[in-house]
Amino acid sequence: MMEMEMNPKNPYEQLGISENATFEDIQEAKAQLTEQYKYDDKAMQAIEAAYDSIFMERLRLRQEGRIKVPDGIRFAESLNEEARKKQQKVASSLPKVPDNWMQSFVDDPSQQELWVIAGVFGVLTLIAILGGPQFSALMMAGGLIASIYFLTKKENRFGRSLLIALGTFAIGIALGLGFANLITVGISVDQINVVVTLILLWLVSSFVR
């Protein structure tokens, strides 16, 4: 059969099947011929061309409604469609996260704003370190007030700014106490605590809305 593979021949005849062969018969015929002529490049090209020709013809006839789709294929397609609808239903029921949710929390301050905020917290931190433990509580309070001010200035939402600043303040104290147990330098625990807290308040005041 393959000695005439390059001639314009009926693709069904090239694969040795009838025109009413099932899709399984077509695949089986192709597999057998591929194994038989795997060392013959021209024959392999003819097999592939015949298979592609049959496949495209079947696809066209199916789209035109001129061939009946097997029940098994119709059933599989209906299952796929049902599964797709279920996935869409589940996806639509899930809470949607806005695409710009990060932008609602992260700020992009100007260079001038960064310098002002850094200057305020830098002064507070410097006083806390050089002034001794007696200034720690005062600098902590100053940092908290400054953070609330800068956050409120961005969004004009005092309640939200207060919660963010207080949360950061609490985290700073907890981290400061942890660092105080690890760092052995010439400053007190209170000073370490205030430095860590002021750094966190500075970061939040600079980059959180």
pLDDT tens digits along 155-205? 788 888 889 889 989 998 888 888 777 766 667 778 888 888 999 999 988
DSSP β-bridge partners for residue 106: 208
Give every CB contact of residue 176 below 8 A, 6+ residues apart in sequence: 192, 193, 194, 195, 196, 197
Across 23-32, 71-80, 98-107, least confident range? 71-80
pLDDT tens digits along 104-127? 677 788 889 899 999 999 999 998
* Rg for the chain, CA atoms, rounded: 37
**List of domains in the chain:** 2-91 (1.10.287), 111-207 (no CATH)
